[in-house]
A and B are shown apart, each in its own frame.
Chain A
């Protein structure tokens, strides 16, 4: 059967409906004045000229948000800090009142009849600032005498986390035959979904209701944040969302602009829409990664790992984004020792504030931070000890017989067969044929390298159960409601196929509504690769609940006891007879009318799962230009059972190439002296292009998890969790023969060329982050 998704027709014909596609009668348009400096006191804001511009309806400042009773944007820590310490919370206003703390922070919101008129008026506003000293790196922020960003956060450290047993680790290092250490920098990147964020708010003065159209990964978290910020009661805040053009973690939180647009709608009495320009997206979307780290491994004489010790210093930006601390610490805690048998491990994570955009989630959300650290450290150990990197891994892998495995810090992995995954990847990648390929490349004057990563990650357990609801329409259509919002993950198709298979109905009967304010459900936003085990499990329960209702109705129709009725392929039958009635017939007879007997709400609660994999990358470098080309890439993943392998492969492709983007070029750079953002457009920020990955092979080795009814583990992020370390290990392996001993991402042509030149001339062998 040819592949197609239920959502495709709308997208390929241009009929998708994203935030900027909504229009309401009388709609006005907003634009924001943003801070043009990184740290300054606001002396005065002159809005008179802007107010007088043609078509201007409102000019909103911090005075207005204060009058409206707006509060600080929320933030929290998912676990207590070291020694039970609490997160020190910076006050984060919707519009800056006294101080601006990063370039791009919102200061004034203008509403006008057209977007262009609003923009013109923004340019007529005059803000007088008094500059304050800036601090642009986490290292500088925690240094003695650093400029202080927030009175509530002395020393610029918001919290310090620790997981694992530092004393056991210290003892293991004492008695170790070898100790290997590695400093790494996981650079700041901009997630850059193709749809720029936007918001359209409508206010009904009669009821006090707000309808907020936004780019969202799920309405529950976003609504809670808007309620916390604006003080408007939960029952009056309704999030509306249909199509969302990519998210990757960046569309989870309620950006300050959204609260401002809600206020704008109330103050002007009109629907107000704001859509960010790409420049605004670069300046104000949450950035991600930005982690400096040191890893150490202790080994015995045979190369058995005795202990890991990690220190992470995270650049959190100027404020703590709601999901920032989650991203910083949870993945490290969940997979502290990766796929390895290690008797002791500890990680310390410090969250530092700098004069830059707040940091939060981007594809992987911490998973590619810990996997990158562990897998590069293992390769470093292999190099220093002269052990084959495959052999060193094999020696230390957790064996499948040890599952379920209690991790070194007391958490657990439920299932997995790491050696089998490794073997399959090595075979598909023709690991043993590499020497010949390297010789052939070197005959052409190119450097060729191979690298691997054996990794594990934890999917999101979810803060609440996942509820789903089926509503049966009058024309046979069945509308499914769920919270977890699709921003590219093919939920419409995946959900329909899951239900269709269980209920024996065609998938075309199902449609999906994620962001319908009329249906309030408990649930979790899309994130942490969790939707299929979370919502999917709830859908499986929903199908069973519908079948149970059908069974009762079938028993009545067939005049039999319901215990004697079996259900198979959409048909209820009295066991051992040919007397039957189809579910479809029962739906036709009973779904309509005021009782809506088939309408069903169900829920499920699932915990984390542990997708794991082995990725093998092979690169070639032209030493004359420094250009890195990815020649082969093999991904073997254990994502548990796969429901739709084409969709799964699509998720892997996207995530692997996003990883390749960070490895080869993506880098969000601030000027260290002024705090100006230097990579603020697609001309300056190197997005991956069609050319980036050749010879991509996606395969699976499923070990179904017993932790949910579907046996699925999740696939959204494994691609990037594997590709950062696998690709960088391959690049360093290519560079070692010319004398380069260390290299931090990104491997841009200029940096690679510089590293080769420096190593050859004897100037330096380590090419660290600038």
Chain B
């Protein structure tokens, strides 16, 4: 067992974990942040995507102990106002809803975290960059058509 201390959505936390425990398990099981989803066991689907120190990371592919001392942001921490009744959403969340870029919603948190990261590095992506940027995230419902649309809309909002 090891003790891991990290910041999650702006809050300092400390948990005891087995060495083999994944970051995704800490988020979901220890901290109850179930917005980070698990869709595969081979690092393909991207449902578990979070930000670690501002970079896009698949939390199923990082050991919790590797996240020692880092600053983690999950889907629950993305919107500027955290309280559930607040109307504020992050522009990517807003665009996903307005463009109907989600159906069952299971891929959505990971997809949104990946897109938020993509737009940080590439504020004005073209189609190819979007397609490349989404390569690590799968959606079975939408056919990606409206997801690509949402990325473009969010990019415009965020540049304004």
Is there an interface contact between B145 and A653, defined as CB atoms closer than 8 Å?
yes
Most buried by A among B89, B112, B131, B140: B140
In the complex, the chain A residue whose C-beta lies closest to that of B142 is A654
Alpha-carbon distance A15/B47, docked complex (angstroms): 14
Chain A contacts of B84 at CB under 8 A?
A: 13, 15
Is there an interface contact between B104 and A12, defined as CB atoms closer than 8 Å?
no
Is there an interface contact between A9 and B104, defined as CB atoms closer than 8 Å?
no
Is there an interface contact between A682 and B44, defined as CB atoms closer than 8 Å?
yes
Chain B contacts of A18 at CB under 8 A?
A: 34, 37, 106
Is A446 part of the binding interface, using a Cβ–Cβ cutoff of 8 Å?
no
Is B158 part of the binding interface, using a Cβ–Cβ cutoff of 8 Å?
no
Contact with B along A1-31 (1 / 0, CB 8 A): 0111101111111111110110100000000
Is there an interface contact between B97 and A8, defined as CB atoms closer than 8 Å?
yes
Is A245 part of the binding interface, using a Cβ–Cβ cutoff of 8 Å?
yes
Q: Please pick, from A12, A489, A655, A696, the residue contacting B97 in the complex, using a CB distance under 8 A.
A: A12
Chain A contacts of B53 at CB under 8 A?
A: none
Chain B contacts of A245 at CB under 8 A?
A: 37, 39, 104-107
Alpha-carbon distance A244/B102, docked complex (angstroms): 13
CB distance from B55 to the nearest CB of A (A): 19
Is A542 part of the binding interface, using a Cβ–Cβ cutoff of 8 Å?
no
Is B71 part of the binding interface, using a Cβ–Cβ cutoff of 8 Å?
no
Is B117 part of the binding interface, using a Cβ–Cβ cutoff of 8 Å?
no
CB distance from A540 to the nearest CB of B (A): 24
Interface size, chain B (Cβ < 8 Å): 54
Interface window among A45-53, A160-168, A188-196, A701-709: A188-196
Contact with B along A91-112 (1 / 0, CB 8 A): 0000000000000000000000
Size category of the binding interface on chain A: 35 or more
Is B23 part of the binding interface, using a Cβ–Cβ cutoff of 8 Å?
no
Alpha-carbon distance A566/B33, docked complex (angstroms): 51
Is there an interface contact between A647 and B138, defined as CB atoms closer than 8 Å?
no
Alpha-carbon distance A637/B148, docked complex (angstroms): 23
In the complex, the chain B residue whose C-beta lies closest to that of A687 is B138
Chain A contacts of B97 at CB under 8 A?
A: 3-5, 8-9, 12
Is there an interface contact between B44 and A689, defined as CB atoms closer than 8 Å?
no
Is A143 part of the binding interface, using a Cβ–Cβ cutoff of 8 Å?
no
Is there an interface contact between A14 and B34, defined as CB atoms closer than 8 Å?
yes
Is there an interface contact between A689 and B41, defined as CB atoms closer than 8 Å?
no
Chain B contacts of A489 at CB under 8 A?
A: 103
**B 2-31 contacts with A by CB, 8 A:** 18, 20, 28
CB distance from B126 to the nearest CB of A (A): 13
Is there an interface contact between A8 and B102, defined as CB atoms closer than 8 Å?
yes
Q: Please pick, from B35, B38, B102, B130, the residue contacting A690 in the complex, using a CB distance under 8 A.
A: B130
Is there an interface contact between A681 and B44, defined as CB atoms closer than 8 Å?
yes
**A 215-266 contacts with B by CB, 8 A:** 243-248
Is there an interface contact between B96 and A196, defined as CB atoms closer than 8 Å?
no
Chain B contacts of A277 at CB under 8 A?
A: 41
Is there an interface contact between A14 and B36, defined as CB atoms closer than 8 Å?
yes
**A 662-705 contacts with B by CB, 8 A:** 681-683, 687-693, 696
Is A268 part of the binding interface, using a Cβ–Cβ cutoff of 8 Å?
no
Chain A contacts of B135 at CB under 8 A?
A: 689-690
Chain A contacts of B42 at CB under 8 A?
A: 278, 681-683
Is A646 part of the binding interface, using a Cβ–Cβ cutoff of 8 Å?
yes
Is there an interface contact between A193 and B79, defined as CB atoms closer than 8 Å?
no
Chain A contacts of B20 at CB under 8 A?
A: 116
In the complex, the chain A residue whose C-beta lies closest to that of B112 is A12
Is B57 part of the binding interface, using a Cβ–Cβ cutoff of 8 Å?
no
Known A21-B34, A690-B148; judge A278-B104 contact (CB<8 A). Answer: no
Most buried by B among A14, A687, A688: A14
Is there an interface contact between B96 and A8, defined as CB atoms closer than 8 Å?
yes
Is there an interface contact between B45 and A691, defined as CB atoms closer than 8 Å?
no
Most buried by B among A192, A246, A690, A693: A690
Alpha-carbon distance A3/B89, docked complex (angstroms): 15
Is there an interface contact between B41 and A248, defined as CB atoms closer than 8 Å?
no
Chain B contacts of A683 at CB under 8 A?
A: 42, 44
Known A658-B143, A690-B131; judge A13-B93 contact (CB<8 A). Answer: yes
CB distance from A495 to the nearest CB of B (A): 16
Is B68 part of the binding interface, using a Cβ–Cβ cutoff of 8 Å?
no
Alpha-carbon distance A653/B141, docked complex (angstroms): 8
Chain A contacts of B28 at CB under 8 A?
A: 20
Is there an interface contact between B140 and A687, defined as CB atoms closer than 8 Å?
yes
Contact with A along B110-145 (1 / 0, CB 8 A): 001000000000000000001100110011111111
In the complex, the chain B residue whose C-beta lies closest to that of A11 is B105
Chain B contacts of A11 at CB under 8 A?
A: 102, 105, 108-109
27 contacts between A and B (CB under 8 A): A8-B96, A8-B97, A9-B89, A9-B97, A11-B108, A12-B108, A13-B75, A13-B84, A16-B35, A18-B106, A20-B28, A20-B38, A193-B106, A194-B37, A195-B39, A196-B39, A246-B104, A246-B140, A248-B140, A654-B141, A681-B41, A681-B42, A681-B44, A682-B42, A689-B138, A690-B130, A696-B143
5 closest Cβ pairs, A-B complex: A14-B35, A245-B106, A11-B105, A657-B143, A488-B104
Chain B residues within 8 Å of A, Cβ to Cβ = 18, 20, 28, 32-42, 44-45, 47, 74-76, 78-79, 84, 89, 93, 96-100, 102-109, 112, 130-131, 134-135, 138-148
* Additional pairs, 20, CB under 8 Å, beyond known A20-B38, A194-B37, A278-B41: A5-B97, A5-B100, A7-B105, A8-B97, A11-B102, A12-B93, A194-B140, A195-B37, A245-B105, A246-B140, A247-B104, A278-B45, A488-B141, A650-B103, A653-B146, A654-B143, A657-B143, A682-B45, A690-B144, A696-B145
